[in-house]
């Protein structure tokens, strides 16, 4: 199986991350509702395929979002990875100066790496979970994304931290130093959201257009 460093380098060098995060910024907070999160997840996962020119192929299987088509595993097959996006995993904004509305002073914030243990849901069963282990078909690597960075970890490293029950399987309080950073905030400073574009509005237009075809 490829090393963590190889998978990290593959993701880092194959994707146009500025375009990726410009897309994520365009979606913004308008797609965080329960009904919209599935669309947002699909777009982010599909984005890796589009912005890597399919060097990272979107396959959308249970527990496997992508195949790294030019990085083969020990079976001679493309290495697999699952992707999870959580807004604030590795980087968070910390207040450096409090706002004072009476004096017209705006608060200031600084983006910092948090270094806190990472908790992330690996499997969502959409109901009562009966899992007692991670499925054998689960991806070899996990790509963990937040609003400012991408990190990767070998799934085998997560096994001691798995919690079963509720509505799925969670990797609970994983030391952040087990993850390898693919890109960070300094790699995507040129990111720029589209102006006057709302994905939800565009989706409604498409839906009405589709309905009017009948």
Q: Is 153 in contact with 180 (CB distance < 8 Å)?
A: yes
C-alpha to C-alpha distance for 206 and 214, rounded to whole angstroms: 14
Q: What does the pLDDT read at residue 136?
A: 93
Whether the per-residue pLDDT at 106 is higher than 80: the answer is: no
Q: What does the pLDDT read at residue 127?
A: 62
Whether the per-residue pLDDT at 208 is higher than 70: the answer is: yes
Q: In what order do the strands lie in the sheet with 118-124?
A: 118-124, 168-174, 162-165
Question: Global pTM?
Answer: 0.90
C-alpha to C-alpha distance for 10 and 180, rounded to whole angstroms: 13
C-alpha to C-alpha distance for 137 and 199, rounded to whole angstroms: 33
**Region 91-111: what's the mean pLDDT?**
74
Q: Identify the residue whose tokens are 């931290």.
A: 161
Q: What does the pLDDT read at residue 28?
A: 83
**Region 181-195: what's the mean pLDDT?**
96
Q: Is 209 helix (H, G, I), strand (E, B) or coil?
A: helix
**Region 24-47: what's the mean pLDDT?**
88
Range list of H helices, 15-58: 17-27, 37-50
Q: How far is CA 91 from the centre of its chain?
A: 13
Q: What DSSP designation does 37 have? A: H
Q: What does the pLDDT read at residue 103?
A: 66
């Amino acid at each position: 199986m490829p090393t963590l460093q190889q998978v990290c380098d593959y993701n880092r060098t194959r994707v146009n991350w500025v375009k990726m995060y410009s897309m994520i910024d365009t979606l913004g907070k308008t797609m965080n509702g329960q009904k919209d999160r599935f669309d947002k997840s699909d777009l982010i996962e599909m984005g890796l395929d589009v912005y890597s020119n399919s060097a990272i192929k979107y396959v959308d299987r249970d527990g496997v979002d992508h195949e790294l088509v030019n990085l083969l595993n020990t079976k001679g097959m493309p290495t697999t990875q699952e992707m999870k996006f959580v807004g604030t995993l590795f980087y968070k904004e910390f207040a450096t100066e409090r706002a004072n509305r009476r004096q017209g002073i705006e608060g200031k914030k600084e983006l910092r790496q948090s270094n806190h243990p990472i908790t992330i849901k690996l499997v969502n069963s959409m109901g009562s979970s009966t899992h007692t282990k991670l499925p054998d078909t689960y991806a070899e690597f996990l790509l963990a994304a937040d609003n400012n960075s991408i990190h990767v970890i070998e799934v085998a490293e997560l096994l001691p931290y798995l919690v079963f029950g509720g509505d799925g399987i969670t990797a609970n309080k994983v030391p952040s130093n087990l993850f390898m950073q693919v890109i960070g905030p300094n790699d995507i400073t040129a990111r720029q959201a589209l102006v006057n574009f709302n994905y939800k509005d565009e989706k409604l237009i498409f839906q009405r257009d589709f309905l009017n075809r009948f």
